[in-house]
Amino acid sequence: MIRQTLTEALRAAFSALEGVSCPEAIDLGRPANPSHGDWSSNAALVAAAATGRNARALGGELAKALSKNPPRHVRKVEVAGPGFLNFFLHDAWLHEVLKQVVTEGVDGYARWDFGASRIVNLEFVSANPTGPVHVGGGRWAAYGDALANILARCGYSVHKEYYLNDLGRQMEAFAASLAARRRGEEPPEDGYLGEYVREWADEMPDEVAAANDAGAVGEWGYLRARRDIEASMERLGVRFDTWFSERSLLATGDIAGVLSELRAAGVLYEQDGAVWLRSTEYGDDKDRVLVRSDGESTYLLGDLAYHQNKFGRGFDLLIDVWGADHHGYVERLAAGVCALGHRREQLEIVLGQLVKVVRGGKEAKISKRAGNLVLLDDLVSLVGADAARMTFLAQSLDRRQVIDVELLAAQSMENPVFYVQYAHARICSLLREAATRGAERPPMGAAALETLTEARELTMLRTLHGLGEVVATAALERAPHKLTAWVRQLAGDFHGFYHDCPVLRSDVPPDVRGARLWLAEAARIGLVTALSLLGVSAPDAM
RNA sequence: GCCCUCGUAGCUCAGGGGACAGAGCAGGGGACUUCUAAUCCCAAGGUCGCAGGUUCGAAUCCUGCCGAGGGCGCCA
């Protein structure tokens, strides 16, 4: 709102000048240094560079024009440094922010509709159904779920999906390992050595084991693993709309279908008895095999059929969240999707650096096949779903995350999640206490918001003002961790306010009390909104 | 050899063209008869891996080097 006011005022100021035009996108920011005002723009610097004029002089002219006819809430406009335009505002702009937060509430504040036309399929985790989910999988789960929430808040229609690779060599190796363990033997080479295989083999009903049928054992094992994975996701609070089976693609003929579509498109050829996709024509660095010379289809063919199936279900944007170890696979899948007639932008692969799992300072393997698993369930039961999610969402996906389960458990009380949740509980307690004492909030229209002039109060309102932009950025950059940073900031602002600004104390004038109660309510709205987007609970009491 | 990501305070990380680089933890010093001290405040801590380049302006963009992790199958 204020941003728009200032932008328009800047445009108007430019239009009054000769020989200079306003930069396309006006960069308007909130300077870190308070002496640089409440808002600041580099428009003069950019425009000066484009026209060869002196930036400081141009800025001076703009500042003069803006000062003559100041936009709403603006107290003073200065040119500073090399040519920055600094806007100093009356506190009233923040009081309006407060009004807006409270009026729009948890459902409406910081909500956008720029994604309203997009129907998104967001696929994440998709760990093979050959064992429990390890700690590393939690990162994708927390990330994907939070991203889905954030996209939805920006208007996107989001569908969360888990792809089950219930076909192929991994499943066969898993079945063989289960069967071997049941017989009391070691798993075959390339088999699964994890301890859970032993446990599950013991669980297997006699009739399944006795049938001595690889298919039956595999099917039992698949369902066992799938149940386990679903339960782990549930414990972390992550629910998928669809659990999509790779096998179903065979049954529906999608795999054969995509092959004939590609053939019809003329992008296939045969060589050495195999069927190849001419993926180099779509940016891949070499062509890829879709059907091996032994007649088996490759993983890529299945994946193409799967992605084509997603498009067939009406999604116009597919977002896949993958571990960075699959980075080399991105271009070939994208090539295939383009060969099927889709635009490259319709497939977006988010790559996240892998989690390094450490136990008491020593690295733990996180491969199901090598054994020695550290399970997501273990982490969740040690620190709880909220702390686990907050930990996963505390940093950028671009950065490798080191999770030391023991250290996390030992320091769980220091987890930032409690700092934020405590702020929320304090607000709830404050509002409860206010009700008990009969200190009701006045109607918003009658609240003396102009009494909010303390630095603590204004700082918190500045932060609250930023939520909308943070949500939009988190959505567009697929970066939920920005919201984590924001909510910690808001919690810190509130704790500071709470410490310095009494609300219910008897020496607080009633109009100030009323305004502060509304401010607390606004903070509560901000905390609840951000936490719910992150998938973290906001307890009323701690 | 080629490709991707990262290198910021003792540790874990934000910031990713803008004006003096921020937070948490650890360590030092303070603040509870008051609305929840799971809190707050103060001090201390940095050649933003190194070297060039682009720019009015670089932690941020480009190139090279160094270091860390991951990937380069008719595996999945």
At A52, list the tokens: 């060869």
Q: Which nucleotide minimizes the distance between its C1' and the CA of A412?
A: B38
- C-alpha distances (whole Å) from A472 to each of A25, A65, A115, A150, A491 are 17, 32, 10, 8, 20
Element housing A351 (H / E): strand A347-352
At CA A70, angle to CA A68 and CA A71, rounded to 5?
150
CA distance A424 to A359: 32
pLDDT reading at A462 higher than 90: yes
The mean pLDDT of A310-335, rounded to a whole number, is 96
Coil, strand or helix: which one is A164? strand
The mean pLDDT of A221-245, rounded to a whole number, is 97
CA of A405 to C1' of B1 (A): 38
């079945």: which residue's tokens?
A175
pLDDT reading at A500 higher than 90: yes
Spatial CA neighbour of A484 closest among A522, A530, A525, A523? A530
CA distance A85 to A10: 10
Sequence-ordered list of residues with C-beta below 8 angstroms from that of A381, at least 6 positions apart, any chain: A235
CA distance A279 to A332: 6
CA distance A57 to A194: 71
CA distance A20 to A10: 12
Percentage of the residues of chain A whose pLDDT score is greater than 70: 98
Whether A233 and A240 have beta carbons less than 8 Å apart is answered as yes
Element housing A242 (H / E): strand A242-245
Spatial CA neighbour of A65 closest among A6, A3, A14, A7? A14
User: What pLDDT sits at residue A380?
Assistant: 94
User: What pLDDT sits at residue A360?
Assistant: 66
Percentage of the residues of chain A whose pLDDT score is greater than 90: 85
- For A208, half-sphere exposure in the C-beta direction (CA atoms, 13 angstrom radius) is 20
User: What pLDDT sits at residue A372?
Assistant: 63
User: What pLDDT sits at residue A368?
Assistant: 67
């967001």: which residue's tokens?
A122
CA of A470 to C1' of B59 (A): 21
At A224, list the tokens: 């066992």
CA of A48 to C1' of B55 (A): 13
**Which residue is closest, via its CA, to the C1' of B19?**
A81
User: What pLDDT sits at residue A367?
Assistant: 63
User: What pLDDT sits at residue A215?
Assistant: 87
CA distance A198 to A273: 40
CA of A191 to C1' of B35 (A): 61
Between strands A84-89 and A157-164, the pairing is unpaired
User: What pLDDT sits at residue A20?
Assistant: 84
At A367, list the tokens: 């491969």
pLDDT category, A276, cuts 50, 70, 90? very high
At A457, list the tokens: 């109060």
Quote ipTM for the complex: 0.96
The mean pLDDT of A91-120, rounded to a whole number, is 97
CA distance A317 to A346: 5
Whether A291 and A255 have beta carbons less than 8 Å apart is answered as no
Q: Which nucleotide minimizes the distance between its C1' and the CA of A494?
A: B39
pLDDT reading at A323 higher than 70: yes
Spatial CA neighbour of A362 closest among A407, A327, A414? A407
The per-residue pLDDT for range A405-434, each reduced to its tens digit, is 888 888 888 899 999 999 999 999 999 999
| Other residues' Cβ atoms within 10 Å of the Cβ of residue A82 | 13
A131, with CB counted inside 10 A (0-12, 13-18, 19+), is buried
pTM of the model: 0.96
Q: How high is the mean pLDDT of chain A?
A: 93
pLDDT category, A484, cuts 50, 70, 90? very high
Q: Hey, which bits of A16-102 come out as E strands?
A: 28-29, 39-41, 74-80, 84-89
- Domains, chain A, ranges and CATH? 2-90 (3.30.1360.70), 416-534 (1.10.730.10)
Structural Rg of chain A based on CA atoms: 29
**How far is C-alpha A226 from the geometric centre of its chain's CA atoms?**
24
- Looking at the DSSP assignment, which residues form a beta bridge with residue A122? A160, A319
User: What pLDDT sits at residue A361?
Assistant: 63
pLDDT reading at A231 higher than 90: yes
Chain B footprint bases within 7 A of protein beta carbons: 3-7, 12-16, 18-26, 34-41, 55-57, 69-76
pLDDT category, A21, cuts 50, 70, 90? confident
CA distance A218 to A542: 46
At CA A154, angle to CA A148 and CA A158, rounded to 5?
35
CA of A541 to C1' of B52 (A): 57
Q: Which nucleotide minimizes the distance between its C1' and the CA of A507?
A: B34
Q: Which nucleotide minimizes the distance between its C1' and the CA of A520?
A: B35
The mean pLDDT of A507-532, rounded to a whole number, is 97
The per-residue pLDDT for range A193-218, each reduced to its tens digit, is 888 999 999 999 999 988 778 889 99
Q: Which nucleotide minimizes the distance between its C1' and the CA of A331?
A: B3
pLDDT reading at A391 higher than 70: yes
User: What pLDDT sits at residue A34?
Assistant: 86
- C-alpha distances (whole Å) from A117 to each of A97, A113, A147, A319, A533 are 28, 9, 17, 16, 21
User: What pLDDT sits at residue A412?
Assistant: 84
The mean pLDDT of A524-538, rounded to a whole number, is 98
